[in-house]
């Protein structure tokens, strides 16, 4: 950094919370149409840099995950959807699985 840069009035993480909540990008075209894209909204998953090398787009990630989902037996998928309930229920399922594996 150069000595003339002054960050003494800066606030660390000033916009972090707002970015976590998401924001909308609007692109106004010359023909009058507007394209809106939601960025960082609830439910956004962030990929690690090493994973991003293999999955550069949302479509690539979704395709890979759908392939993985199709491989998982239907019975496990049904159990997984039931596990999305309360945290206590998840703990009970994990304990029962651990007992079965012993």
| C-alpha–C-alpha distance, residues 39 and 99, integer Å | 42
37-54 core/surface letters (b: 16 or more CB in 10 A; e: else) = eeeeeeeeeeeeeeeeee
pLDDT digits over 87-97, tens only?
Answer: 555 555 666 56
Predicted TM-score (pTM) of this structure: 0.39
Residue 84 pLDDT grade (very low, low, confident, very high; cuts 50, 70, 90) = low
Q: Which domain holds residue 97?
A: 16-101
Q: For residues 83 and 9, which has the higher predicted lDDT (pLDDT)?
A: 9
Query: Is the residue at 85 inside a domain?
Result: yes
Cα separation, 78 vs 99, in Å, equals 20
If one counts the domains in the chain, the total is 1
Q: 20-72, pLDDT tens digit by residue? A: 788 888 999 999 999 988 777 677 787 888 998 999 888 999 999 999 988 88
Does some domain include residue 7? no
User: What pLDDT is recorded for position 46?
Assistant: 79
CA dist 24 and 41 (Å) reads 9
The answer to whether position 8 is within a domain reads no
- Is residue 6 situated within a structural domain? no
């Amino acid at each position: 950094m150069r000595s003339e840069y002054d960050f003494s009035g800066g606030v660390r993480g000033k916009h972090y919370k707002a970015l976590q909540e998401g924001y909308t990008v609007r692109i106004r075209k010359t023909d009058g149409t507007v394209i809106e894209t939601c960025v960082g909204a609830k439910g956004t998953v962030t990929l690690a840099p090493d994973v991003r090398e293999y999955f550069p787009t949302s479509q690539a990630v979704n395709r890979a995950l759908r392939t993985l989902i199709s491989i998982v037996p239907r019975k496990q998928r049904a159990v997984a959807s039931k596990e999305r309930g309360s945290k206590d229920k998840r703990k009970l399922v994990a304990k029962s699985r651990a007992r079965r594996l012993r």
